[in-house]
């Protein structure tokens, strides 16, 4: 506990140390890609216990400025978060320009993006996806699972579920690369014109498996986002189940002040 000075509680030593490390990062003393000094180095530098340093590093990680990799230590992040803008991320102009939403957003943030396809093929619809698609649980759907990278680091996984009667006549949707503009462009090419995209978000700690897949520290925050792509006919033709490293994305929504 801090010592009362002049009627105020002193700032704990671990908070002071964390603030100093954060300021070094923001001032560029510790640059993107640099390793934060090890626990033993910080113990020697500040003359405190290992427990104090571990509490300080927990505060530094909470700032979102570093990432911890198992067996390597803490590394200063080298990229700003991708900004999700609800008002324009699914514009047809992006698709017509040959860019899917993630690639367009990453380009706007100045990041290098990569998408790795993990699985494409038929599977039985999970309960939540089936309900949203309006099909029976266990009905055959097309699943497309991807892992997204920014500057070489995994930041997002996503699995799209599409009704079989829709996709069976669109061979491009079974290809690893469905072509410019992604799967939404191919769906619209075949007459499925989109009216809206509805997203539901929930923030929570990552499971052990999720943290491993996204190279996160155990217990790091993730955002679970589920999107429904609805056509002008009122049908949901895709459900996208996405898990995102919370510190790598900023969500921006425009909400009309309607009567």
* HEC assignment per residue over the chain: CCCEECCEECCCHHHHHHHHHHHHHHCCCCCCCCECCCHHHHHHHHCCCHHHHHHHHHHHHHCCCEEEECCCEEEECCCCCEEEECCCCCCHHHHHCCCCHHHHHHHHCCCCEEEEEEEEEEEECCHHHHHHHCCCCCCEEEEEEEEEEECCEEEEEEEEEEEHHHHCCCHHHHCCCCCCCHHHHHHHHCCCCEEEEEEEEEEEECCHHHHHHCCCCCCCEEEEEEEEEEECCCCEEEEEEEEEEHHHEEEECCCCCCC
Give the predicted TM-score (pTM) of the model.
Answer: 0.69
Confidence of residue 153 (pLDDT cuts 50, 70, 90): confident
In this predicted structure, what is the pLDDT of residue 103? 62
- Residue 105's pLDDT is 65
| Cα–Cα distance for residue pair 228/239, rounded to 1 Å | 5
- Is pLDDT of 11 > 90? no
Mean pLDDT of 199-219: 87
Query: How far apart are the C-alpha atoms of 108 and 16, rounded to whole Å?
Result: 36
Distance CA 113, CA 105 (A): 9
Which one is predicted more confidently, 159 or 61?
159
- Quote the percentage of the chain above a pLDDT of 70: 82
- The pair of structure tokens assigned to 114 is 């990569």
Least confident of 62-71, 157-166, 171-180, 182-191: 62-71
**Is the CB of residue 17 less than 8 Å from the CB of residue 53?**
yes
> Quick check: 202 pLDDT over 80?
yes
Instruction: Check whether 42 has a pLDDT greater than 50.
Output: yes
Contacts of 17 (CB under 8 A, 6+ apart): 42, 46, 48, 52, 53, 56
User: Whose structure tokens read 């509805």?
Assistant: 198
Residue 5: pLDDT band (50, 70, 90) is very low
How far apart (Å, rounded) are the C-alpha atoms in residues 253 and 259?
18
**pLDDT class of 246 with cuts at 50, 70, 90:** confident
Residue 203: predicted pLDDT: 94
Distance set, CA 47 to CA 20, 52, 53, 156 (Å): 15, 10, 10, 39
Residue 34 predicted with pLDDT over 60: yes
Burial label, 106 (beta-carbon count in 10 A; 0-12, 13-18, 19+): buried
Looking from the CA of 33 toward its CB, the CA atoms found within 13 Å total 2
Architecture, CATH, for domain 80-250: 3-Layer(aba) Sandwich (3.40)
Provide CATH 1.10.10.10 ranges for the chain.
11-74
Express each pLDDT in 106-139 by its tens digit. 666 666 778 899 999 999 999 999 999 999 999 9
Mean pLDDT of the chain: 85
pLDDT of residue 229 exceeding 90, the answer is: yes
The confidence score (pLDDT) of residue 1 equals: 42
Domain with CATH 3.40.1410.10 in the chain: 80-250
Give me the CATH topology for the region 11-74.
Arc Repressor Mutant, subunit A (1.10.10)
Q: What's the pLDDT score for residue 175?
A: 96
Determine the pLDDT at residue 90. 67
């Amino acid at each position: 506990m801090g010592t009362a000075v002049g009627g105020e509680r002193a700032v704990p030593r671990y908070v002071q140390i964390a603030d100093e490390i954060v300021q070094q990062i923001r001032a560029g003393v510790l640059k993107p890609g640099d390793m934060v000094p090890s626990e033993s180095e910080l113990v020697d530098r500040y003359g405190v216990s290992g427990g104090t340093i571990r509490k300080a590093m927990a505060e530094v990680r909470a700032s979102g400025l570093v990432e911890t990799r198992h067996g390597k230590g803490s590394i200063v992040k080298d990229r700003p978060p991708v900004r999700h803008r609800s008002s324009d991320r699914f514009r047809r102009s992006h698709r017509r320009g040959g860019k899917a939403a993630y690639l367009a957003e990453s380009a706007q943030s100045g990041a290098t993006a990569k998408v790795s396809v993990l699985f494409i093929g038929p599977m039985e619809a999970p309960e939540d996806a089936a309900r949203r698609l309006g099909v029976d649980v266990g009905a055959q759907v097309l699943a497309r699972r991807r892992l997204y990278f920014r500057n070489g680091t995994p930041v997002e996984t996503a699995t799209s579920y599409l009704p079989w009667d829709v996709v069976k006549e669109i061979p491009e949707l079974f290809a690893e690369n469905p072509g410019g503009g992604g799967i939404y462009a191919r769906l619209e090419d075949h007459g499925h014109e989109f009216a809206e995209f509805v997203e539901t978000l929930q923030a929570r700690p990552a499971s052990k498996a999720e943290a491993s897949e996204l190279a996160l520290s155990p217990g790091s925050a993730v955002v679970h986002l589920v999107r429904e792509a609805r056509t002008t006919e009122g049908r949901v033709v895709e459900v996208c189940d996405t898990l995102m490293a919370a510190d790598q994305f900023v969500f921006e929504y425009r909400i009309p002040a309607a009567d």
